[in-house]
Amino acid sequence: MSQSDFYAIDSVREIRLYFFQSNWDEILDSLYVVGERERLAANVVVDGNSYLNAGVRYKGFSSYSENRIKNPLNIDLDFIDNGQNHLGHKKLKLSNVIQDPSFVREALSYEVARKYMPASRANFANVYINDTLIGLYTNVEAVDELFLENHFGTSDNAFFKGNPESLDLNGENSNLSDSPGPMIDGYFPFYKLKSDNEEDWFALQEFIDTLNNSTDNISEVLNVDRALWMHALNYTMINFDSYVGYAQNYYLYQDRHGRFNPLLWDLNMSFASYRLTDASDHWDGFTIEEAKYIDPLQHLNSFSVQPRPLIRNVISDVTKKRMYLAHIRTIVEENFDNQDYMSRCAQIQTKIDASVLADTNKFYSYSDFTANLTSTVSDLVDYPGISELMDDRSVYLLGLEGSLNIPDVSNISESVLNPIVGDSIWITADVSSLPSSVHLNYRLSENDVFTALNMMDDGLHNDGLAADGVFGAIIPSLSNHTDYYIYAENDSAGRFSPARAAFEFYSIDSRLRFNDLVVNEVMSNNQALQADQDGEFESWIEIYNTTDYTLSTTGLYLSNDSSDLFQWQIPDTTILPGDYAIIWCDQDVTQYGLHSTLYLDKLGDSLFLSNTDGTLIEAMYYPEMEQTSSIGRFPNGSGDFTEMRPTFHEKNTDPADGNYLTEQLFVYPNPANNSINVRYNGLEDGVIYFYSLDGRSIVAQASINAESVLTINTSSFEDGFYMVKTVFENAQLTQKIVITH
């Protein structure tokens, strides 16, 4: 059993809930009816690990009923104890496996989806309440801050769930049309804000406006490839309890480039367990037989009862349509045409067989469980056998338009075997079937957007002879980690290489040279000068890109131990030429941003920045520091280290600008509230005075020792401006400060 991966498919978890009230079920029912998403406290034991005072509520729509014993559960481990988590996971989402006699639909669908786009992991858990077995649940990874950090490197951007407050089978629901009008509150009933910033509603409205009214600019606000993969997965696996059916059950997250990324959710009724849609061809529902042959272009080729701009306005572009069909072909070829899905179904069922047999609250019989992989199970509705559906559907999808004369991309080569950062490199490929266009798409970091270049077969692009079927293009300047893929199309079909692009791609790693990236500044004793995003004062390191090229931290390591250069692998971050990145050394890697496992010794230590192969990029030593100072390079990025006034994420300035602490009065924090510190970096003692701007003495004179810190209580000061004056035998220094409570 995998302990590190809570959602490993080869494991069946055990989750035990202990409620304090004997009428817990009645309370949970009442909370569900109220709909305020309040929770009931319970102690939770996950695989033997205890978590006190977690919050529990029922979840779901059609999967919930007050008459059921086995209802879907949403468990918040940090409901009362902030930060409480199990293997990093705060929320547990447990589906009760209704409308799926096979038990495998949700877990299998997520497993397929993860090959092509960010998607939740899923396995199974036996759930007990007060030591009574309730049954076997599907255990699905929450789309939350941890998920977003893992897949996007951020978690605090605009984040929405497409779920209407009340599903209307005759309405638009969360279809991303602009029908609600210009007032932002018109969108409130259809989308749930999952981020903390109310201003994010305007980002969603701008996205919807562009999607509906400025189709030429869709790629600026939408990760188009992710949308194509989501539609391709929904249509291939007939997952119609989704955007393609009644416009619900998906997330939207805005990445650091301002593009919304659609994310799948709630796949328990995939493989045609849900057969309702407002697509024109099947507006009144569809049969199992019809499900096998549903056109994945139905919202384009016919009309929609309600608008579907995320499909129609994207694939109305002929190239995007060919890309979409290429994605469908890849899903079918890699999972269904080769019968891989049936092998996975059998393996999953074998793993959960005993748990299904023991589940006395399951909604179907054990014989239904074993039969539904291949045969229809009839209950309130008919649940198609998965192979009964997908074998015919695979044949149909592989016979769609553009299934013949598909371009083939092969013999991809790179002109430089061991490139270094900044090199230009030619990419060439053989492309068959008379392509009308071939594009090389590249990026300089895994969090960047791909840039498209035309590949040419004219004999002028390192491509051999003109019209010989070899196409070439040049990436003008390599980062230390460069990704690329190729897309080719003719007048009927398109092909990606690799087939899972843009989720998968080819990569070129170029070794950084010594001092391409440098440690530019270190503050090891930060007590009050610069807080991180959570308001905490931690030690920090500033990294600076000295080159003319964009660099990535992919594959780089930071260490303070020369015998172990691989202490901490830096997460991928793009650093532009002449720009900076801040690494917090607080040993709290769960926080947003670059938070390392390293600890900076306040008494001084060494730092090493290295490549994956252990070659050094930077090595330096920092001495003991005061709370008021850092050590930084001057000239910026290249000079020797010297003590200085901290310049967080900024250029280390010239001594003439007063940045160095030598012979300087330093007052911090400024602005201040309840206390203020004064430091003088001279060699003599002095006297300090506080004045209001009108010259009134505020604090009696106090002595200040050279190279020491004096703390003054300012809690009784009124808000406003004040002057700090320090008098020495040979000097008199004055600085303005601000007090604000």
Whole-angstrom distance, CA of residue 284 vs CA of residue 294: 14
The identity of residue 377, as a single letter, is V
DSSP 575: E
| Contact between 484 and 451 (Cβ < 8 Å) | no
Q: What is the mean pLDDT of residues 345-365?
A: 97
Banded pLDDT at 339 (limits 50, 70, 90): very high
Fold of the 665-739 domain: Immunoglobulin-like (2.60.40)
- Report which of 667, 666, 673 is spatially closest to residue 720, judged by C-alpha positions: 673
Whole-angstrom distance, CA of residue 447 vs CA of residue 157: 14
Dihedral sign, Cα of residue 208, residue 213, residue 217, residue 218: positive
Identify the pLDDT of residue 731.
66
Banded pLDDT at 3 (limits 50, 70, 90): very low
Token pair 């989402």 is found at 93
Q: What burial class does residue 564 get, using C-beta atoms within 10 Å of its C-beta: 0-12 exposed, 13-18 middle, 19+ buried?
A: exposed
Task: List 607's β-bridge partners, or say none.
Answer: 620
Banded pLDDT at 528 (limits 50, 70, 90): confident
Comparing 43-57, 365-379, 415-429, 525-539, the range with the smallest average pLDDT is 525-539
Identify the pLDDT of residue 716.
84
Q: What burial class does residue 484 get, using C-beta atoms within 10 Å of its C-beta: 0-12 exposed, 13-18 middle, 19+ buried?
A: buried
Q: For the chain, which residues make up each domain, given as ranges?
A: 12-398, 417-505, 517-657, 665-739
DSSP 114: T
Identify the pLDDT of residue 374.
97
Average pLDDT, the chain: 90
Is the pLDDT confidence value at 169 over 90?
no
CA dist list (Å): 108 to 59, 376, 390, 553, 644: 21, 18, 13, 34, 57
Banded pLDDT at 644 (limits 50, 70, 90): confident
Identify the pLDDT of residue 176.
98
Identify the pLDDT of residue 655.
47
Q: What is the mean pLDDT of residues 78-88?
A: 90
Identify the pLDDT of residue 233.
98
What are the tens digits of pLDDT across the range 103-128? 999 999 999 999 999 999 999 999 99
The identity of residue 384, as a single letter, is P
Q: What is the mean pLDDT of residues 617-624?
A: 86
Q: What's CA 476's distance to the chain center, in Å? A: 29
CA dist list (Å): 381 to 262, 273, 362, 375, 504: 30, 8, 16, 14, 38
Please determine whether the domains at 417-505 and 665-739 fall in the same fold group of CATH.
yes
Return the CATH number of the domain spanning residue range 517-657. 2.60.40
Identify the pLDDT of residue 660.
46
Percent of all residues in the chain with a pLDDT value above 70, rounded to a whole number: 95
Q: What is the mean pLDDT of residues 73-81?
A: 94
Provide the strand spans (E) within 415-525: 425-431, 437-443, 451-454, 470-475, 481-489, 494-497, 506-509, 517-523
Quote the tokens at residue 388. 């009964």
| Contact between 355 and 97 (Cβ < 8 Å) | no
Banded pLDDT at 664 (limits 50, 70, 90): low
* Contacts of residue 659, Cβ cutoff 8 Å, sequence gap at least 6: 644, 645, 647, 652, 653
Banded pLDDT at 662 (limits 50, 70, 90): very low
Quote the tokens at residue 282. 């099947």
Is the pLDDT confidence value at 196 over 90?
yes
Whole-angstrom distance, CA of residue 107 vs CA of residue 523: 47
Please count the other Cβ atoms lying within 10 Å of the Cβ belonging to residue 687.
Answer: 12
Collapsing DSSP to helix, strand or coil, 388 comes out as: helix
Quote the tokens at residue 233. 């997965």
Superfamily of domain 417-505: Immunoglobulins (2.60.40.10)
CA dist list (Å): 539 to 304, 352, 639: 57, 48, 22
Identify the pLDDT of residue 706.
61
Whole-angstrom distance, CA of residue 509 vs CA of residue 341: 34
* Contacts of residue 504, Cβ cutoff 8 Å, sequence gap at least 6: 485, 498
| Contact between 580 and 536 (Cβ < 8 Å) | no
Comparing 264-268, 315-319, 342-346, 614-618, the range with the smallest average pLDDT is 614-618
Higher pLDDT, 108 or 616: 108
Banded pLDDT at 335 (limits 50, 70, 90): very high
Number of Cα atoms under 13 Å in the Cβ half of residue 641: 20
Q: What is the mean pLDDT of residues 260-272?
A: 97
Is the pLDDT confidence value at 311 over 90?
yes
Dihedral sign, Cα of residue 347, residue 387, residue 338, residue 138: negative
| Contact between 314 and 229 (Cβ < 8 Å) | no
Is the pLDDT confidence value at 515 over 50?
yes
CA dist list (Å): 81 to 43, 45, 167, 418: 12, 15, 34, 51
Quote the tokens at residue 271. 């493989």
Is the pLDDT confidence value at 191 over 90?
yes
Whole-angstrom distance, CA of residue 603 vs CA of residue 583: 19
Quote the tokens at residue 75. 């468990």
Task: List 472's β-bridge partners, or say none.
Answer: 428, 456
Comparing 360-369, 386-395, 451-460, 515-524, the range with the smallest average pLDDT is 515-524
Task: List 724's β-bridge partners, or say none.
Answer: 690, 735
Quote the tokens at residue 294. 């549903």
- Report which of 310, 323, 156 is spatially closest to residue 244, judged by C-alpha positions: 310
Dihedral sign, Cα of residue 235, residue 241, residue 246, residue 251: negative
Comparing 329-333, 554-558, 638-642, 680-684, the range with the smallest average pLDDT is 680-684
- Report which of 176, 178, 94, 90 is spatially closest to residue 138, judged by C-alpha positions: 94
Helix (H) or strand (E) holding 18: strand 12-19
Token pair 């891989």 is found at 340
Whole-angstrom distance, CA of residue 307 vs CA of residue 278: 9
Percent of all residues in the chain with a pLDDT value above 90, rounded to a whole number: 62
Whole-angstrom distance, CA of residue 269 vs CA of residue 363: 14
Identify the pLDDT of residue 651.
87
Whole-angstrom distance, CA of residue 115 vs CA of residue 136: 26
Identify the pLDDT of residue 665.
67
